[in-house]
Amino acid sequence: FKASSATIYQNIGRTNLTRTEVQTNKSQESAKSRGKYNNGNVTRFGNKIFPHNMTMIATRLFPIVLVCYLACLANSNPIPRNDVATEFIILHNNDMHARFEQTSVDSGKCTDEMANTNKCYGGFARVAHEVRKYREEAQNGGTPVLYLNAGDTYTGTAWFYIFKDNITAAFLNVLQPDAISLGNHEFDEDVEGLIPFLEKAEFPVLAANLDLSNQPELRAAKSLHNSTVLDVNGFKIGVIGYITPETQNLTKAKDVRFNDEVESINQESARLKAEGINIIIALGHSGYMRDQEIAALCPDVDLVIGGHTNTFLYNGEQPDAERIDGPYPTVVNQTSGKQVPVVQAYAYTKYLGKLHVQFDKDGNLIEFDGTPILLNAEVPRESDVLALLEVYRPNVTALEGDIVGHTKVHLEGRAEICRAQECNLGNLVADSMIHARVLEDLGGTFWTDAAVAFIQGGGIRNSIEKRSDGTILAADAIGVLPFSNDLYVTRISGKTMKQALEHSATMHERDSSGGFLQMSGVHVTYDYNKPAGSRVISTQVLCAACNVPTYEPLEETKMYNVIIPFFLLDGGDGHTFKEVDGPEPQRLAKTDSEAFQDYLRRRDFVYPEIEERIVIIENEDDGEDGDGDGAYAIVSSGLLIMLSLVSLRLTY
């Protein structure tokens, strides 16, 4: 997919990127390929679940055809340039989330059954194999290689839960990245949990938009920089790091201020340009939409290597289970006509991005192409990395040998599900929070004093595969809830609860930060045909002060006791679960992970279902006669026009 002077409309189902600008939509209400959500069940075009009518298909096929057409019109970058002076390959990944060991197809634990049938993916040993292979080719006269990582190696498995910064630094040091950016999850253990990692890191760790005025110890960390300069056959390549300012609300980043990425990148790139460095890469962790804004608004930047939203960019047919979110690379056109490729490589070590670029002697990007590499079982694993796993394995084995429960069903915890709709693992976790409070027996003559629980979808980090014997291990439970959040009972009005649900509705996006709420004791209906702030059209709440639990309409003036993790109590993801003059929240005896494991241990097996706790209504236009013929007409007309244009292009 080479540079094109045509406007690129990126991302299937999205048309908010124009030739001259990227429209910012802070509320994340831009049109996306969500498909139809009906009673909590998603129906999508682009994977194994299909839409209910052909109009839905049209809305997805049209952008795909458009992207294919624009690819056919591939032209040279309009910026004047000389002949190729340097070229190199960028290997990149992001959001590895402690997948040091190979994983299942949806990035959960790779069981022995899966491993024995070659159904596992990723892991650091496969990443190491590919990186070393390309580096060896470069040493033997092939194209030079840079290996970059866009943050969030922290958090997500029992390996990190036990060993934290020690194992993260050890495995990244083995991979020897040329540079990495910080991700928001690198702050999960607060600054005190980040500094030891920075001291152990044998590579540059980048973030240009941090204000560390109140964090002198972090500022003094030897590996932390705004940018770094890499040498490729005598050409100086500047790499500038950035991290989402949302980190302030997503983590425990104490006394760290996060500045605007665009302003910070432009300041740092101006400094690098003044030093004669003409090729600039922005490497960071702010999400796909923000990456495109950076590409549009940072005139010195030539490439953007991103992360945070686990976005899968790809050209051609879907290679595995991941839905394609847009072309690889996604091309952004600046007002000058300069084109800036934007890439991301999904997450969890399942893919390794590969981007090949060529520049002229003045640092102008001439051509680029590439594709993510699927790290399936056909990719060998490096023996020294596997040996390093064995050094840490004994402690992990103890957790893997601890059976905490059994399940009759797959427990769905994927981000693209739990951050956008009801998921059965979200139901199970929220139910376990209610159960933890019931065990404290504070309901007096009633069954409990808190019949409602919420947890943000972003707090659910893994699915749990159903094994043949149904076992759920302590390591699985920790992988689902790795943050060990304290649980609190907070007393809020029905009005505040409804506002929280409205805020949740604004985060009904696959690549949201995770603020979409999973729940227990609440049945809510969202109507996405209505504007933000008015989408909650029905809310039923389970009674607490009752002898027989039943659902009743939410009353805005009534006060409710609600169980939430500390993350939400502290304003995480922009939520508010406090009243100005309300009573002090009460901490439960168990953390979220402890409550979840205890709930599983007390049951012979679980089988949570999708039970319409969350019902989502979205508009579906069936066309004038309702039979879908309009959809065929749209697609057919679009194809005819584009094929005609391609024909003109070829004959021209």
Q: How far is CA 617 from CA 304, 394, 555, in A?
A: 36, 49, 22
Greater pLDDT, 173 or 622: 173
Residue owning tokens 């981000």: 415
Q: What pLDDT is recorded for position 351? A: 99
Q: How far is CA 110 from CA 107, 130, 349, 377, 434, in A?
A: 8, 20, 13, 11, 31
CATH number of the structural domain 85-384:
3.60.21.10
Same fold flag, 85-384 and 403-612: no
Mean pLDDT (the chain, rounded): 86
Asked if the model's pLDDT at residue 477 lies above 80, the reply is yes
Tell me if 14 sits within 8 A of 64, measured CB to CB: no
Tokens read off for 454: 């919420």
- Average pLDDT for 328-336: 98
Asked if the model's pLDDT at residue 13 lies above 50, the reply is no
Q: What pLDDT is recorded for position 632? A: 36
Tell whether domain 403-612 is in CATH 3.90.780.10: yes
pLDDT tens per residue, range 27-51: 333 333 333 333 333 333 333 333 3
Greater pLDDT, 398 or 648: 398
Q: What pLDDT is recorded for position 73? A: 40
Domain residue ranges in the chain? 85-384, 403-612
Give which of 575, 467, 465, 470 is closest to 517, Cα–Cα: 575
DSSP 331: E
Q: 279 - beta bridge partners?
A: 237
- Average pLDDT for 215-239: 97
Tell me if 538 sits within 8 A of 447, measured CB to CB: no
pLDDT tens per residue, range 478-517: 999 998 899 999 999 999 999 999 999 998 865 567 999 9
Q: What pLDDT is recorded for position 629? A: 41
Asked if the model's pLDDT at residue 14 lies above 90, the reply is no
Give which of 386, 382, 383, 387 is closest to 132, Cα–Cα: 382
Tell me if 322 sits within 8 A of 312, measured CB to CB: yes
Tell me if 540 sits within 8 A of 553, measured CB to CB: yes
Quickly count: other Cβ atoms within 10 Å of residue 145's Cβ.
21
Quickly count: other Cβ atoms within 10 Å of residue 383's Cβ.
11
pLDDT tens per residue, range 577-627: 999 888 999 999 999 999 999 999 999 999 999 999 999 999 755 443 444
Sequence-distant (6+) residues with CB within 8 A of 248 are 256, 257, 258
